[in-house]
Amino acid sequence: MYDIVKNLKLGLLHIGFIQLDERWQYDNVISPFSRLYLITDGEGWVWHNGQKFVLRPGSLYLIPSFTYSRYHCDRFLEQYYISFFDEMSEGLSIYDLKSMAYETYANELDYRLMERLLTLNPGRTIKEADPKTYDNRPEVLSFNQPKPNQSTSQYVETHGILLQLFSRFFASENDQDRQRAKGFHQLAGVLQYIDSHLHEKLTVEQLASNANLNADYFSRLFLSIVGTRPVDYIINKRLERAQLQMMTSSSALKEIAESVGIPSIYYFSRLFRRRFGIPPGQYRETIWTM
């Protein structure tokens, strides 16, 4: 597991401290980045991964990227918040490889780390409490670069603090995790090829040939390791990249669809709605008008 996780990079998008009220009630949020909360007072809840998590003081919470989620507060909620990207080699996500505990107790060090992160990154707070509104920011494309007023040492320290806080959610390593990591390592070349060629036509036969495997065997191997068929994996990666482009550019939907390897705008619309529960045109209209 270490050989793969050692390539994990986290990029800070937002960091802040906020007091929320009954207006913090949002549904159908799917973002290309993760969120991390440290609750200091009050109560609320979030829903994701098929589970409701009650937000209580003294606890840390993680909401993974590209996950349907809901947010709710009845009266008052006070929290530190972080939004960040995760990046690994082969176009993978850490959530593909590691079992995560999405709720854990915060210790004294976690509070100090949050304060230090705020000090290191002034101006990274969000001005709008609606999680769908601040999804639409061109800055998401520059998340992995130091800010103009941030030194290299501050940038490196920021990354270290992010990793330290994120590590709180790593569940105990088990045989399933180890086998999954071993399998992904076996498919590393194929996954990297997919990530680099999403804009091109990709077939199972082509990928199997690149891996020097029979197409039927390759498909079964891919399903057993990744948990989905090669074709479905490629579609999901294309849609995720399209979602990010829709949030960070004004390119036409047809242009975005073509850039991720889906030349038919009608097929793209159907796939997007099936994946995210909303047509791409309506989705863009929502994030650009909030």
pLDDT tier at 113 (50, 70, 90 boundaries)? very high
For residue 63, list its beta bridge partners.
35
Separation CA 6–CA 122 (nearest Å): 28
Structure tokens, 172: 């105990």
Residue 107 counted as domain residue: yes
- As given in the structure block, the two tokens for residue 72 are 């709710």
Q: Would you say residue 145 has pLDDT above 60?
A: no
Calpha distance 106→96 (Å, rounded): 25
**DSSP letter at 45?**
E
pLDDT at position 129 is 52
H or E segment at 63?
Answer: strand 59-63
Q: Is residue 252's pLDDT more than 70?
A: yes
Indicate whether 21 and 100 sit together in one domain: yes
How far is 26 from 15, CA to CA, in rounded Å?
Answer: 20
**164-212 per-position pLDDT tens digit:** 999 999 877 667 667 777 777 788 889 889 988 999 999 999 999 988 9
Domain residue limits at 117? 2-169
Question: In whole angstroms, what is the distance from residue 230 CA to residue 114 CA?
Answer: 40
Asked if residue 176 belongs to a domain, the reply is no
Could you count the other beta carbons within 10 Å of the beta carbon of residue 255? 12
Does 148 fall in a domain? yes
Question: What CATH number is given to the structural domain containing 51?
Answer: 2.60.120.10
Please indicate, yes or no, whether residues 165 and 25 belong to a single structural domain of this protein. Answer: yes
The reported pLDDT for the residue numbered 3 is 57
The answer to whether the CB of 34 falls within 8 A of the CB of 54 is: no
Sheet-wide strand order for 9-21: 9-21, 76-87, 34-42, 59-63, 103-105
Cβ–Cβ under 8 Å, residues 55 and 45: yes
Does residue 14 sit in the same domain as residue 128?
A: yes
Regarding whether 117 and 145 lie in a shared domain, the answer is yes
Cβ-in-10-Å burial (0-12, 13-18, 19+) of 157 comes to: middle
Q: Does residue 140 share a domain with residue 270?
A: no
Q: Average pLDDT, whole number, for the chain?
A: 85
Contact (CB, 8 A) for 173 and 1: yes
pLDDT of residue 289: 35
User: Looking at the chain, how many residues does it have?
Assistant: 290
Name residue 217's amino acid: Y
Nearest residue to 20 (alpha-carbon basis) of 75, 63, 71, 70: 75
**DSSP string of 71-120?**
EE-SSEEEEEEEEEEEE-GGG--HHHHS-B-SEEE--HHHHHHHHHHHHH
Specify whether 208 is located in the same domain as 135. Answer: no
pLDDT band at 147 (very low <50, low <70, confident <90, very high): low
175 domain residue, yes or no:
no
Lowest mean pLDDT among 56-65, 77-86, 274-283: 274-283
As for how many domains the chain has, the answer is 2
pLDDT tens digits for 70-112?
A: 999 999 999 999 999 888 766 677 887 778 899 999 999 999 9
Instruction: Give the model confidence (pLDDT) of 232-246 as tens digits.
Output: 999 999 998 898 888
